[in-house]
């Protein structure tokens, strides 16, 4: 039997031949598969592959940039409401989309392909929460703010709040100054109804916000510094209500106040409120600096060499932290490609980051657990193809399934999709081989169970230091592993199943060390099983072959 040659990262699996029962013993070179470039201990690959390649069926793809996201529960469960310059797939709308945790839905067209949503916010004017979207809508008439009632009714917010063409609404925020909630609308217009850059809308009419500000409004957040709830407004302005400021000021419903150091240049691009263990604090991205404000105390969290467009406090399973996204490549002296995490002590890169600018971020719990969602102009995050939208899931689970061949990511070589989280289907099971790991990595008692393979099939459990990003077709299945590979155990299936390590076998850590790949605490390894499927008619060459692979398993040791 002949195996086809398959490219793997910096090397390749050789064209391999087997005879009789010794088929897969020759699949990989010697005890350690050294044909691939060696890779140092891998970082936790924490990017969710949901949006890899836009998904086989297209329901996970946003075709364009997302500039703002908000989470809202309309009574049927929390969802992400996203605005930008994009067309969801399947295309039933444009520039405004809703993610329910598994797929996108777009209720309506918000303008043309030339129009943009920069901000989304929910506001209740007495008829229940409605979604407001602000941006640049020249195709919708002379107004740049719309509202949606949750059904199929979209309406322009009329004058005097409507913003003329060629002026943008850049942020929206609901704030109650004690007299009832209002929607605050900020942007880059001037001379509109006697009000500059900022307006307040109570659902029926617009009102000035004191004397306003004298420059573009980019960000707003509501926070109580211990003296009462206030609206914090950031942007490029130097005056707020006539008071000198440096791009950041607070409004309490009656008066403006300067906020923060006065020796910096204006240019606040993003604000966030979060609790990192000291109670709620205000985080500020101002020019080349990220700051932390706790009561009257300001602390710099470090310098950044590019714009920050996303700031979110989020716990990825390792404790509460501040996450930043934008156009930077360095933050706090650490190299980080547009995505970074501050853990309370220092900044860390989120793996290899994103290959283009991140414009929006939001924390959201989908059916698989808590995630930090982010949108932008990227096509790849953490070496995973992820078009315009990504999700960081953290490393809270030491054992996770990966590389499913159920149609979530890519198709199987012969369209032989397996069951959820299994490998591609084989000649005896349309569900495909199921590789599962049990036990606790920290206790070194992990065991692997393989099921749904042909009777007496020769199998090989392989360990890799990395995972593939393209799920390469390989035999009748999809290859998950990359980097330096190690052959762990070769077994003959009994009644279509295999258990390793079995009684009398060394532990996984001992076996790996003996094979030349010692594993330290916190190291990550990836596992997949190769097995023989001799049916020449099930998935024949050139699409397939006479061998197959299971799903993958990722373990943080």
Report DSSP letters for 49-83, one per residue.
Answer: GGGGGG-TTSTT-EEEEEEEEEEEE-SS-EEEEEE
Read off the pLDDT of each residue in 67-73 and give the average, rounded to a whole number: 96
Does position 407 have pLDDT exceeding 60, yes or no? yes
Report DSSP letters for 461-503, one per residue.
Answer: EEEEEEEEEEEEEETTEEEEEEEEEEEEEEEE-BTTBEEES-T
Q: Are strands 62-73 and 78-88 parallel, antiparallel or unpaired?
A: antiparallel
Q: Which position has the higher pLDDT, 291 or 398?
A: 291
Read off the pLDDT of each residue in 157-182 and give the average, rounded to a whole number: 78
Read off the pLDDT of each residue in 335-363 and give the average, rounded to a whole number: 92
* Preceding amide of 501 cis, omega within 30: yes
Q: Which residues are bridge partners to 490 per DSSP?
A: 460
Give the range with max mean pLDDT: 49-53, 88-92, 94-98, 430-434: 430-434
Read off the pLDDT of each residue in 381-389 and give the average, rounded to a whole number: 80
Read off the pLDDT of each residue in 328-351 and give the average, rounded to a whole number: 92
pLDDT band at 360 (very low <50, low <70, confident <90, very high): very high
CA angle 223, 79, 273 (to 5 degrees): 15
Count of CB atoms situated within 10 Å of the CB of 537: 6
pLDDT band at 113 (very low <50, low <70, confident <90, very high): low
Looking at residue 508, the DSSP 8-state letter turns out to be H
Give tens-digit pLDDT for 263-314.
Answer: 667 799 999 999 998 899 999 999 899 999 987 788 999 999 999 999 999 9
Give tens-digit pLDDT for 524-540.
Answer: 789 999 999 988 789 98
Give tens-digit pLDDT for 5-49.
Answer: 232 222 333 232 233 333 333 433 333 233 222 222 233 447 876
pLDDT at 25: 39
Q: Would the pTM count as exceeding 0.75?
A: no
Closest CA to 233 of 303, 225, 242, 246: 246
Read off the pLDDT of each residue in 542-546 and give the average, rounded to a whole number: 87
Give tens-digit pLDDT for 174-207.
Answer: 999 888 999 999 998 765 544 568 989 888 888 8
- Percent pLDDT > 90 in the chain is 51
Across the chain, what does the average pLDDT equal?
Answer: 82
pLDDT band at 166 (very low <50, low <70, confident <90, very high): low
pLDDT at 90: 60
- Out of 70-84, 129-143, 340-354, 451-465, pick the least confident: 129-143
pLDDT band at 82 (very low <50, low <70, confident <90, very high): very high
CB 148 within 8 A of CB 130: yes
Terminal Cα distance for the chain, rounded:
37
Count of CB atoms situated within 10 Å of the CB of 440: 10
- Out of 158-172, 276-290, 486-500, pick the least confident: 158-172
pLDDT at 92: 64
Read off the pLDDT of each residue in 446-469 and give the average, rounded to a whole number: 91
- 543 token code pair: 């699409």
CB 49 within 8 A of CB 43: no
pLDDT band at 107 (very low <50, low <70, confident <90, very high): low
pLDDT band at 216 (very low <50, low <70, confident <90, very high): very high
Read off the pLDDT of each residue in 359-377 and give the average, rounded to a whole number: 91
pLDDT at 19: 34
């Amino acid at each position: 039997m002949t195996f086809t040659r398959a490219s793997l990262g910096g090397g390749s699996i050789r064209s391999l031949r087997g005879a009789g029962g010794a088929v897969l013993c020759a699949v990989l070179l010697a005890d350690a598969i050294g044909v691939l470039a060696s890779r140092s201990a891998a970082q936790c690959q924490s990017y969710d592959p949901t949006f890899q390649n836009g998904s086989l069926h297209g329901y996970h793809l946003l075709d364009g940039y997302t500039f703002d996201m908000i989470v809202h529960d309309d009574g049927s469960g929390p969802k992400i409401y996203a605005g930008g310059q994009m067309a969801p797939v399947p295309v039933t709308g444009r520039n405004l989309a809703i993610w329910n945790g598994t797929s996108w839905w777009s209720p309506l067209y918000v303008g043309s392909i030339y129009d943009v949503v920069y901000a989304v916010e929910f506001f209740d004017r007495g008829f229940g929460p409605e979604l407001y979207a602000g941006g640049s809508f020249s195709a919708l008439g002379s107004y740049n703010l719309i509202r949606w009632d949750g059904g199929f009714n979209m309406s322009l917010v009329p004058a005097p709040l409507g913003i003329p063409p060629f002026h943008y609404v850049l942020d929206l925020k609901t704030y109650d100054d004690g007299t009832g909630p209002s929607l605050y609308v900020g942007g880059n217009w001037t001379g509109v109804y006697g009000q500059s850059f900022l307006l307040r809308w109570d659902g029926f009419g617009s009102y000035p916000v004191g004397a306003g500000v004298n420059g573009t409004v980019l960000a707003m957040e509501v926070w109580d510094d211990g003296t009462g709830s206030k609206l914090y407004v950031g942007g490029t302005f130097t005056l707020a209500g006539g008071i000198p400021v440096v791009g950041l000021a607070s409004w309490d419903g009656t008066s403006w106040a300067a906020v923060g150091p006065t020796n910096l240049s204006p240019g606040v691009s993003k604000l966030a409120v979060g609790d990192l263990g000291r109670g709620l604090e205000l985080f500020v991205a101002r020019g080349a600096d990220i700051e932390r404000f706790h009561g009257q105390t300001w602390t710099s969290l470090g310098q950044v060499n590019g714009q920050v467009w996303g700031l979110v406090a989020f716990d990825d399973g390792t404790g509460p932290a501040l996450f930043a996204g934008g156009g930077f490549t360095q933050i706090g002296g650490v190299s980080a490609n547009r995505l970074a995490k501050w853990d309370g002590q220092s900044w860390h890169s989120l793996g290899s980051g994103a290959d283009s600018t991140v414009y929006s971020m939001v924390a959201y719990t989908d059916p698989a657990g808590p995630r930090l969602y982010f949108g932008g102009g990227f096509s790849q995050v953490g070496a995973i193809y992820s078009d315009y939208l990504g999700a960081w899931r953290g490393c809270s689970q030491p054992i996770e399934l990966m590389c499913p061949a159920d149609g979530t990511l890519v198709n199987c070589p012969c369209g032989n999709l397996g069951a959820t989280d299994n490998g591609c289907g084989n000649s005896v099971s349309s569900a495909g081989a199921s590789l599962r790991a049990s036990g606790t990595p920290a206790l070194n008692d992990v065991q692997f169970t393989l099921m749904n393979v042909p009777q007496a099939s020769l199998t090989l459990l392989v360990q890799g230091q990395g995972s593939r990003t393209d799920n390469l077709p390989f035999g009748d299945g999809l290859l998950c592993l990359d980097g330096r590979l190690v052959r762990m155990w070769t077994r003959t299936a009994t009644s279509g199943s295999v258990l390793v390590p079995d009684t009398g076998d060394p532990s996984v850590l001992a076996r790996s060390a003996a094979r030349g790949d010692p594993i330290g605490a916190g190291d990550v390894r990836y596992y997949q099983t190769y097995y023989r499927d001799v049916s020449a008619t099930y998935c024949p060459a050139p699409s397939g072959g006479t061998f197959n692979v299971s799903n993958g398993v990722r373990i943080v040791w």
